[in-house]
Each structure stands twice: as structure tokens, then as C-alpha cells.
Amino acid sequence: MAIERILKDDASEEKGERARMASFVGAMAIADLVKTTLGPKGMDKILQSTGRGQSVTVTNDGATILKSLHIDNPAAKVLVDISKVQDDEVGDGTTSVVVLAGELLREAEKLVASKIHPMTIIAGFRMAAECAREALLKRVVDNKTNEEKFKMDLMKIAKTTLSSKILSQDKEHFAKLAVDAVLRLKGSTNLESIQIIKKPGGSLKDSFLDEGFILDKKIGIGQPKRIENANILVANTAMDTDKVKIYGARVRVDSMAKVADIEAAEKQKMREKVDKILAHGINCFVNRQLIYNFPEELFANAGVLAIEHADFDGIERLALVTGGEIASTFDNPESVKLGHCKLIEEIMIGEDKLIKFSGVEMGQACTVVLRGASHHVLDEAERSLHDALCVLSQTVNDSRVLFGGGWPEMVMAKAVDELARTTPGKRSHAIEAFSKALVAIPTTIADNAGLDSAELVARLRAEHNKEESNAGINVISGSIGDMSELGISEAFKVKQAVLLSATEAAEMILRVDEIITCAPRRREDRM
């Protein structure tokens, strides 16, 4: 007697070998997709949306590429997720983490084919990951106590992070800019107070860091263009003429004089509201919504600078950096917290006028103004700079630093190889495979630069068998170089996150032995 099907008609399931193959293939395909963006000579991808406006993004940021893909394969989605988490957690290493996870699965596939149980492979991977982390910990450098050296470390990390991005040509300039911005935060990892404004025009070299806060708005007509010792009220309130705001209400009048009465009443109401706002003793009023001509005129007469339609992101940040709170009712002036700053003035950037708030309460606040040829360049520059800022702000807290350029992977691979030799049983195969997967990162860096990766990685391995070697791949000269002399450094936190996330993701996909695709819920035909 045939067993009835348990699942509904539209559902499907794949078991055992086929399910595992589907997972491996999906994950490796995603890793191969972003592999070419790794390293200083990595290439960019163009992402074109098929929606309205057909927006185009040019990027080599792993997380941005993967975020934009609509993927059907469940294992591939796991890799997309780890790159997102890597981006949120430490900001950089989004491509490395996907490449490493993909390579681990490629090695695991060979082991599964030679009849080693996935659980044995996972046990081996766990041991190898722990051993690799220990090997890195032994070689970290921590210069937290020496301020001069620590700042140099930050500069090196910023330059290394930016060298694989669009900003690599001007990395000195942008590294300095990013380090200055992060050191102002005094150890906070909240990047809210660093604002990035993008203005097309000029070249990337013209970008600069400005103390204080810049709001992308113009000052109203007839209002003071410069205010010293400003008291700022940040508000989110309707400053348009108070129409009769009962929806569907109709007002019938029997003469034009009555219409004038209604208008006069509205004006009076508005005047009272403006008087209430002025009672706070302010000389700058920033509103999220529109301010109509009449209230604007009243503010101008009172010598108050009124800024309308400051977008929500703008007023949230402005309230944060000036130490004020966003108000929406004005009956109790004593309960409203005003923002303060030393000077408000109008400045010009390119063709545009903007408003600059300097000497704000929150000393950490600063604004990075990016200039560039087009919106695509600016968007990519912003992503690159954001990565650098994230990594630096994490490094200020966890100041352990490693060399870069494939050096950490070779250090880890060497330690893991030694562990494989001393481990009895089948697990040693998995540990060996882990070491091969780690070497894939320097291999990919060399491949992307058009170098002979087999030759270079073999020479690199020989170098690392000497005691305390600092050898890594020098992509510029196409040979092996000393990373301490070249000043190529990476944050320990980034490398640790790459190692642990990739191992966990590979484990998760290895455990799969069945994929069940559920049928979508049908809508009942409602009469």
C-alpha cells in the first residue's frame, strides 16, 4: 500500500545528498560572485534595479552587493545574512567573511564525498577555528598606552581599509579625515554625531572635515544670516495657516466680509502660536514641517532665524548635537529643553548655500563634506568612508591590531596545520581542510591582482615557516613584502569576526540534510 503524501501538492522536499549538494552549490556560487571584489585590486560590480527609475549602484562592498540580490537558495541566504551582520558589527570584512565561508564549504564537500560524516567535519572545524584564534591572539600588537603609536595604528588601519575601495587614490587624505572624526568621538561607537553630506562637483580630493554641524537648508528671506550664542528650539509642528482641520467640514458664509473674518481669525491664531514660541527666549527656530510666509515674516520681525522643512534625519541629529529636544507643543516653556551653539552662519559649498552650526554642545559632532564627480561616485565614497569609520570606532575600543595583506590567514593556517598533524582520527582531515580554506584568502587577493597566486602563496608559506615572520602579499609590486614596513594593518576585531562568523555559517549549512519548500497559503475564494 502506497503511503499517502504528507506534504501539500505545491510543497517540495529534497533529501540527503541532493539537499546537501543544493546547499553547497548555492553557497559557493555566492562566494564566487563577490570573490572578485576582494583586496586592493578587486573589481566593482554594477547593480541595476529593474524597478521604477532603474537606479544604478556601482560598488565593491560585499554587503551592499549581497543586500541587493534576491536569492532563492536557502544556503546562499545564510551567507548574505552573515555579510550583513559583519557590516553592522564591525563595518569591514564583508567580502572576506563570505569568501571564507564559501571556501570552507568547498573543502567540506570533498570530505563529505570521501564519506566523512558532517558532524566529524564540524568538530574538526571547531577545533581549527579555536586554534586559529589563539594563534592570532599571540601575535596581536596593542599600543593603547602610547597615544602617538596608537594614532599611527589607526592611520594604517584606515589606509588598509580604504585601499580596496574607490577612495584608494586619495587614501592618505581620507584616512586622516576618518581618524580625526573618530578620535573626536572619544571612544563612543555611536556614529550618529558624524554627519556625511554629499555634494556633487569638484573632485574627491576637495572633500573635507568640518567641526560642528552643517544643515543642508537655506536661511529665509529677511532673517539674520549670522547669530552668535544661539538658543535653538528644534520642533516638529505645523506652521502652515491653521485651516479648519476637520475633514469633510464645509463652511458656508453669506458675504465676503465673513471670509475676511475667518482669515483674520486664522492669522490671529498663528500670531498667538508664534508668540508662544518666541516666549522661549530663542533666536533660532528649526522646524521639521513647512513654515508659511506669514509666520516666517513674524519670525523675521522678531529677529529670529527660522529654518523650515529640515528633514527628520536632520532635526534628530541637530537635537542630538546641540543638546536640545524636539518639541511639538509650546505651552510650558520651562519644560522644553533648548539646544545651544556658539555660532550659526551661512556657508557656500560649490553652488549651494548651507547653514553651519559651530561650537555645539556635543563636542564630538563633526560633518564630513564629500565632493565628487557624480552621485554614483559619492554614494560609493560614502559607503567606503562609513566602513573606515566603523572599523576605526571599533578599534578605539578594542585596540588590538594585526598586520594585513594575507598575513593573518597564513599565521592561522600554519597553526591549524600543526594542529592537524597532532590530531588523531578523521577530524584531522577536517582541520587540514580548514587550513586550505584560510589560504584561499591570500590566493584570491593575488588572483584579483593578476599575479601568479600559486607561486606567491608557496613563497609566503615558506616565509612563514621562519620564526616571527611579517610577510604578506605586496599587491603593488607583485611580490612578498614585509607588512610592518609597508604599514598594512587590520583590526583584530574584524579578523576575529570574519573567522568566527564564517565558521558558524559553514557549520550551519553542513548540518542540513533535507530542504523542505513549503507551499504558499492559498487565499480562499471569498464570495
Positive or negative torsion for Cα 6, 7, 12, 13:
negative
Grid cell of 10 as nine digits: 505545491
Confirm whether 145 is a catalytic residue.
Answer: no
- Active-site option among 64, 94, 161, 395: 94
Q: How far is CA 195 from CA 365, 367, 397, 467, 498, in A?
A: 8, 5, 21, 45, 28
Dist. CA 507–CA 503, nearest whole Å: 6
- Active-site option among 57, 59, 64, 95: 95
Dist. CA 87–CA 68, nearest whole Å: 14
Grid cell of 174 as nine digits: 581620507
DSSP of 281-295, one letter per residue?
--SEEEESS-B-HHH
361 burial (CB, 10 Å; 0-12 / 13-18 / 19+) is middle
Torsion-angle region of 53 (φ positive above 0: left; ψ -120 to 50: alpha; else: beta): left
Dist. CA 303–CA 32, nearest whole Å: 62
- Active-site option among 37, 57, 59, 61: 61
3 state SS of 175? helix
Q: How far is CA 487 from CA 121, 155, 166, in A?
A: 37, 9, 20
Dist. CA 53–CA 157, nearest whole Å: 38
Grid cell of 136 as nine digits: 592570532
3 state SS of 273? helix
Confirm whether 61 is a catalytic residue.
Answer: yes
Confirm whether 50 is a catalytic residue.
Answer: no
- Active-site option among 379, 387, 417, 447: 387
Confirm whether 379 is a catalytic residue.
Answer: no
- Active-site amino acid positions: 61, 94-95, 387
